[in-house]
A = this chain, B = another copy of it.
Amino acid sequence: MIDELSALRSIEERFHKISKDVELGIGDDAAAVRFDSGKLVLSTTDTQVEDVHFVKSFITPAQLARKAVAVSVSDIGAMGGVPRFILASVGFSKGEDEGYLDGLISGFLSSLEEFKVELIGGNLSSSNKLFLDITVLGEVEPDLMVRRAGAKPGDLLYVSGTLGDSALGLKILQDEEPKQGAELLTNRHINPLPRLALGRELALEQLATSMIDVSDGLLLDLERITVQQDIGAKLELEKVPRSKEYNDFVEQYYEDIYKPAISGGEDYELLFTADESRKGEIQAISEKLEIQITEIGSITELASLDVNSVSGEYKTINERGFVHFNN
């Protein structure tokens, strides 16, 4: 059980305002910050609830705090923006002690450094189960902001990194039998890497016509970038990038070896669309940032998701989350 007053004291001692843009940080009724005039302020919030989003035995408090920040700043990256400030609301249950709080604080501190953001406020409360609710404020030039809507038929579809690792990593964590050589997978679940530099670069070069971070699985997030405009997409199943470790382990957990790659969540890779003419520039960014970027399909006029497979099997996804097999 954590005492609010001593918790606040620890927090105020360990977080100091750094930049001149923080006029007033932790400790007043509200924080007061400056944004560049002419830029839009981006805001997003994301929650991690014990036994819903995480299980305490699989993740250290420091990892949990970092992950909560990582997945929230990821949303700012997916707009082509730059995260600047965070507010952290934490609900403590009776299960956390001072040591746990200390771990959370360490995780927050390291995430601030890693993602170049500042903690400017938050809230502590009691709760039945531990939860962390993170709000991120960021900024972006109005002309450069990349929305979910914006793709046009003919645009090519790209994704960064590899998909399905996090979902598979979670299966391995839940497996009572320890697995050798699966560290990349479990690590991608516990320490997800938001693609901030890539999102920003794609925005600065005005390359992406639409963009989203893959948080709930490729198919669902693909639908999110097409549904608003009543367009669709054709996905080349075998092109969906999978890691070596994914291929090593997937058969132990899934009958359909593509399932976690197309439906597994929490990879936080960027899914984006771009005009065909800009293929070369995307290749150049991939090389410059040393991030794998894979073309996995294209945008279609027809408002459905077609999963095209070399083996001759087709799946058409007619509505969110519903997969219809054509043969």
B-binding residues in A (CB < 8 A): 5, 23-24, 27-35, 37-38, 40-47, 49-53, 75-76, 78-79, 81, 85, 87, 89, 91, 120-123, 125-129, 131, 133, 135-138, 140, 142, 145, 147-149, 212-213, 228, 320-321
Q: Taking the nearest CB of chain B, how far is it from the CB of A141, in angstroms?
A: 11
Are A121 and B38 touching (Cβ within 8 A)? no
Given contacts A33-B41, A34-B40, A41-B34, contact A46 B123 (CB under 8 A): yes
Q: Taking the nearest CB of chain B, how far is it from the CB of A91, in angstroms?
A: 6
A52 contact set on B, CB distance < 8 A:
125-127
Are A30 and B5 touching (Cβ within 8 A)? no
Are B41 and A32 touching (Cβ within 8 A)? yes
A37 contact set on B, CB distance < 8 A:
37-38
User: What are 29 A-B contacts defined by CB distance under 8 Å?
Assistant: A5-B321, A23-B40, A27-B228, A28-B147, A28-B148, A29-B75, A29-B213, A30-B43, A31-B44, A32-B40, A32-B79, A32-B140, A33-B40, A33-B41, A33-B43, A37-B38, A41-B41, A43-B87, A43-B121, A44-B87, A44-B121, A45-B89, A47-B123, A47-B125, A47-B133, A49-B91, A87-B135, A123-B133, A127-B131
Q: Which residue of B is nearest A129, CB measured?
A: B128
Extra A-B contacts (14), CB below 8 Å, given A45-B122, A50-B128, A52-B127? A27-B148, A28-B149, A30-B136, A32-B41, A37-B38, A43-B85, A43-B120, A46-B89, A49-B125, A51-B128, A91-B131, A127-B131, A131-B131, A137-B137
